[in-house]
Structure 1
Amino acid sequence: MTTPMASPDPSTSVVPFVVGLVIALALIWAVWMGIRFRRREPGPPDPADQPKLPRTGPVEEVREMREPDEMPHTDDGGSRLPPHELPGFGNAGSKRSTDQRPRHWSRDGGDAAGSGGPGRT
């Protein structure tokens, strides 16, 4: 006695094919649209449009030491100054230091490394 084999349902093979076809068409359409948008963009600038050095030559970096400003005190019990009213944020000038040598850390000064703490144990 032979049992007939069940015929496969056509939807199990057609649906994944249609979904894959739709995804492939969507990707082709996206690439095509990207190429169209890219063609509308302006090209790279000409060498004549590139920036040029000034006649005096390249601009050099200027380094100078500035005097530190004192933090304003409110000893009269007034309110604290908000950050935008503190000096040095565009509302108060700073002055050039007379000593233009760069400041270096002293060997006896405190720093975080080697502070004597045991660290994580």
Structure 2
Amino acid sequence: MIAAFVGGLFIAGGLVWAVQFGMRVRDRELPRPTADEQPHLPDTGAVHEIREIREPDEVPHATGRERLLPHELHHAGSKRSEDQHRKRWLPGKSGSFGGGGIGHA
């Protein structure tokens, strides 16, 4: 019984020490930014989402060498598609697996 009480006092003392240590560390940190220092919207307003159709950008072939170097690769794995017309879903022609539809008629 005494060992459990001493163990509880030890744990409580450790928690009190940890809180005091955290308060000292926080007092040494830089102050929080004021409202004027917070980020704000640009004068032109919010940035809006751009929707476009993307397609895979193929890796170029190494001509006359064994391999391509990193600076010879493209910066993204996809590129803007020439055809920006979005293909629409046609009823009865496609759907998800197990969607409950009758499928092709």
**TM-score, normalized by length of structure 1?**
0.50
- Give the aligned length: 87
Partner of 1:21: 9
Give % identity. 36
Decide whether the 8 Å contact of 1:69 with 1:94 is kept in 2.
yes
Partner of 1:109: 94
The 5 A counterparts of 1:1-121 are: 13-66=1-54, 68-69=55-56, 90=76, 94-98=79-83, 100-107=84-91, 108-112=93-97, 113-114=99-100
> Deviations along 1:11-46, whole A, 9 cap, x unmatched?
xx5433322322221121111112112222223211
Which structure has the bigger radius of gyration?
Answer: 1
Decide whether the 8 Å contact of 1:65 with 1:96 is kept in 2.
yes
Decide whether the 8 Å contact of 2:57 with 2:79 is kept in 1.
no
Structure 1 residue 101, shift from structure 2 partner:
4.0
Higher-strand-fraction structure: 2
Q: 5+ unaligned residues in a row in structure 1: which ranges?
A: 1-12, 73-86, 117-121
> 14-23 vs 41-50, which deviates more?
14-23
Partner of 2:62: none
Decide whether the 8 Å contact of 1:88 with 1:94 is kept in 2.
no
> Deviations along 1:43-69, whole A, 9 cap, x unmatched?
321122122322222222222234x45
The code of the aligned residue for 2:89 comes to W
**TM-score, normalized by length of structure 2?**
0.56
SS at match of 2:20: helix
Which whole-Å CA distance do the structure 2 matches of 1:115 and 1:71 have between them? 36
**Closer, same or farther in 2 for the Cα pair 1:102/1:24, shift >3 Å?**
same
Decide whether the 8 Å contact of 2:52 with 2:80 is kept in 1.
no
CA RMSD of aligned residues (A): 3.4
